Structure 1
Amino acid sequence: MGRKMKLVATTKSHLTKEEKIARKKIEDKASDGLEALQITPPKHFDAIAKAEYKRVINDLRKLPLRNLDRAILETYCTWYAVYKEISRGLQKEGYVYETSSGKVLPNKMLYSLERATTNLTRAASQLGLTVDSRMKLYVPQVEEKKTSIFDKFGG
């Protein structure tokens, strides 16, 4: 399997004019003709998910994301709301608790927080909300063939 693609604007390699044009065509094909993401958050979101949607939507519309990607965006916002709620609960109740026998145990919400964090990070990466994922967006890395001494001098 090849490497993930990167946007032409973010690639660090030196490309010829023809390579830049070809890669730009790939980017354009990935987003042309498809409906843009809606500006307003879905009505079924709670207040936290709506606020997160509003926070990220303008930047996401600059990326080649379209309405087809809405489910991932909704998943991201939902997991963000779950993450925030669990974090608030942990702040109120504490990260550990003491049993009647004096044993100190982790709060069970920590496991839910870990799961929310994992799902939130995965969705954020798919949307291009992380630096790494934005750098890998559409242009494939061309793997360079290493030249041996035999290739250089024959043999």
Structure 2
Amino acid sequence: MARKQKLLSKSTANLTVLQQEAKFKAEFLAADGLPELQKTPPNHLKGAAKQEYKRIVQSVGKLPLRNLDRAELENYCTWYGIYKQISLELSESDKDGRDKLISQLDKATKSIKGLASDLGLNVNSRMQMNMPKTDEDKPKSIKGVFG
């Protein structure tokens, strides 16, 4: 699997002019060259999933989410709706049904965390996008390691 891309402004690699231009073009297309994200939630989303979509669309700000990311965002919102539904059922269930609900809640939570990270919806993923590469991240030569 390929590494996640860094912004050209945050890259410390020695790129050729051609590589820099290609990276700049890719960033432009990812941020401004594609249709914007649909502002209204899709009709198939219901309840908490629809509310979450509306909340996120208002809050995306400068994140490079575009219409191409809509399926992943809808998936995130669907899992969020499932999470909310299971949470309500959990508080109303008896002891026998709790184990199954807790297992479902765990699955929903893991799905939400993964999708939120991919979409840049949590603080760690937004910080990772903007962190400059440090010298510790660079591979060292054998001579540099052992002297």
Q: Does 1:43 align with 2:35?
A: no
Aligned to 1:5: 5
User: Which residues in structure 2 correspond to 1:28-39 (within 5 Å)?
Assistant: 28-39=28-39
Residues 36, 66 of structure 1: 8 Å contact kept: yes
C-alpha separation between the residues in 2 aligned to 1:2 and 1:141? 17
* TM-score of the two chains, using structure 2 as the length reference: 0.73
C-alpha separation between the residues in 2 aligned to 1:149 and 1:81? 52
SS at structure 1 position matched to 2:103? helix
Please report the RMSD computed on the Cα atoms of aligned residues, expressed in angstroms. Answer: 3.6
Q: Does 1:55 align with 2:25?
A: no
Q: Does 1:136 align with 2:128?
A: yes
Q: What per-residue deviation string (whole Å, max 9, x for no partner) do you get for residues 13-44 of structure 1?
A: 889xxx9xx49824323223210001111111
Residues 27, 139 of structure 1: 8 Å contact kept: no
Shift of 1:108: 1.3
Shift of 1:55: 1.0
C-alpha separation between the residues in 1 aligned to 2:83 and 2:8? 34
Shift of 1:146: 3.2
Aligned to 1:100: none
Shift of 1:3: 4.5
Shift of 1:60: 2.1
* TM-score of the two chains, using structure 1 as the length reference: 0.70
C-alpha separation between the residues in 1 aligned to 2:122 and 2:138? 27
Aligned-residue sequence identity (percent) comes to 45
Q: Does 1:146 align with 2:135?
A: no
Q: What is the count of residue pairs matched by the alignment?
A: 138
C-alpha separation between the residues in 2 aligned to 1:108 and 1:46? 23
Higher helix share: 2
